[in-house]
Amino acid sequence: MFTLNKYWSRFNFIIIPALLFLSLIVLLKSGSYSSQLSNYIIIDFLIIIPLCYFFLIRKKAVPKITIVSVFIIGTITASLLIPKEDQSLLDWMKDFILPVVELGVLSFVIYKARLIFKSLKKKKENLDFYDAIQIATKEILPEKIAHFLATELTVFYYVFFDWKKLKPSKNSFTYTKEGTYSGVLLGLILVVVIETSVLHVLVSKWNVGLAWFLSIVSVYTLLQLVALFKSMLKRPLVYNEENRELMLRFGFAGFVNVSINNIEKIELTSKEIEDDAIQYFSFLGKLCGHNTIIHFKEPIEFESIYGIKKEAKSLALIVDDKQAFVNLISE
């Protein structure tokens, strides 16, 4: 009995809302439902259950922002189960309340990221805005959604707000001067600029709406490429002496912390890779080439663009001052 009470007090914030959701679903699927009940059911889904959830978690260590998840689940469930002709109140809430909720979540994430960023700067850690926004989003959102939102916010941050020149720090190594990363990215940016204007003119003769849609997608792709290029200038490779860790980065599109003890050897080579065990650290792969390969004793897991996880026994990348890089790690 004691064990049952213990689990109830620990998980009642999940059990009670789940039972409320289930009771409404049963009502909608039964013959007891009528159009007169639709507005009350919508209010239950979008207001009563989220409020109930909030009161249940207010004294727990559960992030309060998770109430948004309950609201979204209620919105989706109501949209799927309530007949379309009875969704007038639901449509109104989607048009007016949902944007406010989304803006609130976005503002909270940015506010949280700023606090984390300032805290990291005070501790003099080698982490930047992207790292801070990753930490902030992971605290309040599922991991995949967190990676996606962090990447999108980072794109706008680097394109429109981050214009300060990075001061070189101790044990940091750039990767945009010697290799082909910069050339390939600048080439892609030029291609997208030309392609956007030409494609818009051609497609608009056939379908104006589609032409504008493709142009918007192309412009956003352009912003992502520009942001990636700027982030590569601002996010060098860093060796942390205190933790004996090597922080590998490819702008905001690649990241991994590697223990020095797990590095077997570093090979300076630009020969074409034929071994499938060797992964390119850049998501651009062979397009950019490499001049350094880091071999590990045990396989590592690294993050690529949008937080996509990959495993590698060896990583191929570009380091500008590769000999100084090898000397430092060897020491």
Q: Does residue 255 surpass a pLDDT of 70?
A: yes
Average pLDDT over every residue of 107-134: 67
162, 129 Cβ separation under 8 angstroms: yes
Please report, for the chain, the start and end positions of each structural domain, with discontinuous segments joined by +. 2-86, 104-160, 176-232, 237-330
Whole-number pLDDT of residue 61: 65
Q: In the predicted model, what is the mean pLDDT of the chain?
A: 80
Count CB atoms within 10 A of the CB of residue 199: 15
Determine the average pLDDT of the residues in 253-278. Answer: 85
Between the two ends of the chain, the Cα-to-Cα distance in Å is 60
Tell me the pLDDT tens digit for each residue of 191-243: 888 877 777 777 777 777 777 777 788 888 888 888 888 888 888 888 888 77
Query: What percent of the chain has pLDDT above 90?
Result: 0
1 pLDDT tier (thresholds 50, 70, 90):
very low
Question: Which three-class secondary structure state does DSSP give residue 264?
Answer: strand
Question: What is the predicted pLDDT for the residue at 191?
Answer: 81
Burial class from Cβ neighbours inside 10 Å (0-12, 13-18, 19+) for residue 317 reads buried
Q: Work out the percent of the chain whose per-residue pLDDT is above 70.
A: 87
Confidence of residue 3 (pLDDT cuts 50, 70, 90): low
- pLDDT score of 265 more than 60: yes
- pTM across the whole model: 0.66
Dist. CA 314–CA 295, nearest whole Å: 4
